[in-house]
Amino acid sequence: MFAVILAWIAVLLLLATSAGLILNRDWRWDLGLLAAQYLGTFILVAQHWPIGMAAVKLVTGWMATAAIGMTLNALTPREEVPGQFWPRGRVFRLFMIGMIVVLTIAATPHVESAIPGIGLPVVAGGILLIGNGLLHLGTRSEITRVIYSLLTILAGFEIIYAGVESSILVAALLAVVNLGLGLIGAYLINAELSPEEEAA
Amino acid sequence: MSAPILWILLPILIGSFTLLLLRERTVAVIGGGTSLVLAGIALIVPIDEALRIGPLSLKIASSASILGRSFLLPPADAPLLVIIFGMCALWFFGAEAAGVALRLIPLGLIITALLVASIAVQPFLYAALLIELAVMAAVPLLSPSDQKPGRGVIRFLIYQTLAMPFLLFAGWLLAGVEASPGDLTLTIQSTSMLGLGFAFLLAIFPLYTWIPQLLEESSPYVVGFLLWLLPTIASIFGMSFLDRYAWLRTSPEVLAGLRGIGLLMLLSGGLWAAFQRKLERLMAYTAIAETGFILLALSLTTAGSLDLFFLLIIPRGLGLAVWALALSILKKENASLEFSSAQGLARAYPLASAALVFAVLSTAGFPLLAGFPPRLALWQGLAGASFGAAILFLIGLLGLLVGAVRMMAVLVMQKEETRWSLKENWIQRGMLGIGITGLFLLGIFPQIMRPFLENLPLMFQHLGR
């Protein structure tokens, strides 16, 4: 019973963090939200994997977050200006997040019946992250945002995939992919922001 | 010694070591030499058999176990290793002529090793993860640290990363279909997942917008290398799905879908190529059309369709290498490669210009060039399956041919009374000369590829037999 309650708390945490990543514009808050997102991911993955294996997701997620954070901290990122082609208001983004929540509520029972034994909170958490990650990816084009959204989508996928696959090799490779994405993000952010730093 | 250590771990170690080196030539020699030696070993030393050299006995075991899963390179994979590392040697030796050896070779060796690992990993489904790692290793290659990352590289990363979850889920769903073949909903879900995964991975229409962008932003040689290696390995990964699941390879809908998408790629690539006004974009659409040829070869159900697929690999690799090298040479000296700026370049760079023209003509299936024999065989196979498809195939080729003729006209167009000169350096001349000769040799004597290709279909348990 406690595990189920904890899993639903993790889903709420994932909703808050993934929505916060879409709504927020301060990079320090973003990093905190990303780190918290990996905590929620860890709780849901631990529903099917041993704690030790699930902890790999938490540690690599935090390492990826740290890599991005150190780069942003060193380069002092400029204020983000979202693309002009897309509605920018917070209300609009909140509406879109609401749509993702509705979609998640509608899709979760169907997916859960297709993957017996996986559990409603695991499916809900996974779909929520994938949906919000795709929303984030579709509405923002800055490198930092692209990396956050890819990490969010991957975290959502990993939550569901952990319910059907428990190979150590897959866990290791997914950890390397997450860490690699964090490092690639740091590299690209560095490449994007460095020339301006020098010019300044 | 095991095959995965030799052809996966060793290139990763050597690639990592060459990251520390600073001289272009040294890196090119080490990278090219390593690839050549690895290709030679795959050619000469049999896997899983003891080879006696005097008192010494040498045996390369086919598998190695990592984290409870095995990486398997059986004897049937040896010809593919010869082709992959042989072609890598060509690309790496040419990297010095293109001026990108320090960037391409260290990461290129690591990428190649990861992609070989994706062929070797058991179960084959995990290949999606290794391909994703190779994609991430390619990002620093495409976007140097002193250059602001462009849209192309970001899209490349996004699309290739999105492919992985789809493919892993599709693999899991396909196992369900195998267990209950009558479940139509599951079959549709798994096929859709698989299709989406490969659409992202192989840059299928309309998800190929990153290719022209990337060719404009990055070094053509580096992009060319990836455009050769990634789709080749991704196609082999796709064939593993067809080989593993009988209902997939016998489904008329799947094969018709492959044919339709292949034709769409060829037609869109060919028609866009015909109207391009930039040399880089012309190469991009040529590469897109090449993916169309691969899909068309896979769609044929005849006994020789697998041979046809493998017949495409070597000319494709050589054509792209020649294209990319020539384009790199021209791009190094000319900031813009728009048709208006490229007028008369043949007078200053006759070899590079000739290489460009021969490479695109080869892709268009021009007689006497490397691309002609596989395209002829493909056209014949396609005509047997559908007359309409054969006509559309010809239209696609015509588009590529128009692109080639327009490019040739621009390159030789005389802007003013300029004298002919030969601005390519000796290394560039040598590599371009080898490439052009190769294009003609493979076109006139396609049977020289036979020793490498005849046993390749045995890689697949069901498709190849």
pLDDT at B329 over 80: yes
Inspect the interface and report whether the beta carbons of B68 and A169 lie closer than 8 Å: yes
> Is A146's Cβ below 8 Å from some Cβ in B?
yes
Predicted confidence at residue B87, as pLDDT, reads: 95
> For the ranges A45-59, B60-74, B111-125, B133-147, which has the lowest average pLDDT?
B60-74
Residue A120, domain member (yes or no): yes
Give me the pLDDT at residue B199, please. 95
A24 Cβ under 8 Å from any chain B Cβ: no
Element (H, E) at B51: strand B50-53
**DSSP, res B420:** P
Tokens, residue A52: 């030790």
**pLDDT tens per residue across span B183-215:** 788 888 888 999 999 999 999 988 999 999 999
- B174, pLDDT greater than 90: no
- Give mean pLDDT, residues A79-87: 55
How confident is the prediction for chain A on average, in pLDDT?
89
Q: If you count them, how many residues does chain A have?
A: 200
Stronger pLDDT, B385 or A132, i.e. the higher one: A132
B186 within 8 A of B180, measured Cβ to Cβ? yes
Per the document, the length of chain B is: 465
Q: Higher pLDDT residue, B197 or B460?
A: B197
The verdict on residue A86 lying in a domain is: no
Compute the average pLDDT of residues B405-414.
Answer: 90
Residue B49 has a CB neighbour count (10 Å cut-off) of 11
In this structure, how many other beta carbons lie within 10 angstroms of the beta carbon of residue B9?
16
Q: Rounded to an integer, what distance in angstroms lies between the CA atom of residue B356 and that of residue B409?
A: 12
Range(s) of the domain holding residue A147:
2-78+93-199
Portion of chain B with pLDDT greater than 90, in percent: 67
Q: What is the pLDDT of residue A79?
A: 58
pLDDT of residue A200: 43
Q: In terms of CA atoms, which chain A residue is nearest residue B148?
A: A192
Q: Both tokens of residue A51?
A: 């704690």
Question: Has residue A125 been placed in a domain?
Answer: yes
Q: Inter-chain contact A146–B157, Cβ cutoff 8 Å?
A: yes
Q: For chain B, give the mean pLDDT.
A: 91
Residues of A in contact with B67 (CB under 8 A): 167-169, 172
pLDDT at A198 over 60: no
Q: Say how many CA atoms lie within 13 Å of B380 toward its Cβ.
A: 10
Residue B94 confidence class, pLDDT cut points 50, 70, 90: very high
In a domain, A84, yes or no: no
Q: Report in angstroms the alpha-carbon separations of A155 from A92, A131, B40, B452.
A: 25, 11, 42, 42
Look up the ipTM and state it: 0.92
Residue A141, chain B, CB below 8 Å: the answer is: yes
Q: Cα distance from B129 to chain A (closest Cα, Å)?
A: 6
Q: Which residues of B fall within a CB distance of 8 Å from A165?
A: 168, 172
Query: Stretch B92-113: mean pLDDT, rounded?
Result: 94
Is residue A184 in some structural domain? yes
Q: Which of B59-73, B196-210, B213-227 has the lowest mean pLDDT?
A: B59-73
Q: Give yes or no for residue A37 having a pLDDT over 70.
A: yes
Residue B37 or residue B342, greater confidence: B37
Cα separation, B184 vs B180, in Å, equals 9
- Per-residue confidence at B416, pLDDT binned at 50, 70, 90? low
Residue with more model confidence, B112 or B332:
B112
User: Closest chain A residue to B129 measured between Cα atoms?
Assistant: A173
Closest residue of B to A182, CA-based? B136
Do A184 and B162 make contact, defined as CB atoms within 8 angstroms? no
Characterize B67-85 residue by residue with b for buried, 16 or more Cβ atoms within 10 angstroms of its Cβ, and e for exposed: eebebbbeebbbbbbbbbb
With 70 as the cut, is the pLDDT of residue A85 above it?
Answer: no
Chain A residues with CB under 8 Å of B151 CB are 141
Looking at the structure of chain A, the number of domains it has is 1
Chains A and B: how many Cβ contacts under 8 Å? 86
pLDDT at A199: 44
Q: Are A176 and B165 an interchain contact pair (Cβ–Cβ within 8 Å)? A: no
| Residue B46 clears pLDDT 80, i.e. is over it | yes
User: Is some CB atom of chain B closer than 8 A to the CB atom of A176?
Assistant: yes
* Segment B365-395, tens digit of pLDDT: 999 999 999 999 999 999 988 899 999 999 9
Which amino acid makes up residue B148?
Answer: K
Which pLDDT value is given to residue A77? 63
Q: Which helix (H) or strand (E) holds B66?
A: strand B63-66
Residue A30 is which amino acid? D
Residue A85 lies in a domain: no
> B41 to each of B35, B101, B108, B367, how far by Cα in Å?
10, 24, 20, 34
Provide the percentage of residues in chain A whose pLDDT is more than 70.
90
**pLDDT at residue number B415:** 60
Q: Is there a contact between A71 and A186 (Cβ–Cβ < 8 Å)?
A: yes
pLDDT for B242-256, tens place per residue? 888 888 888 888 889
Asked if residue A87 belongs to a domain, the reply is: no
Q: Nearest by CB to B158, which of A137, A170, A180?
A: A137
Cβ of A143 within 8 Å of Cβ of B165? The answer is no
Q: Is the pLDDT confidence value at A7 over 80?
A: yes
Give the distance from residue B36's alpha carbon to the nearest chain A alpha carbon, in angstroms: 29
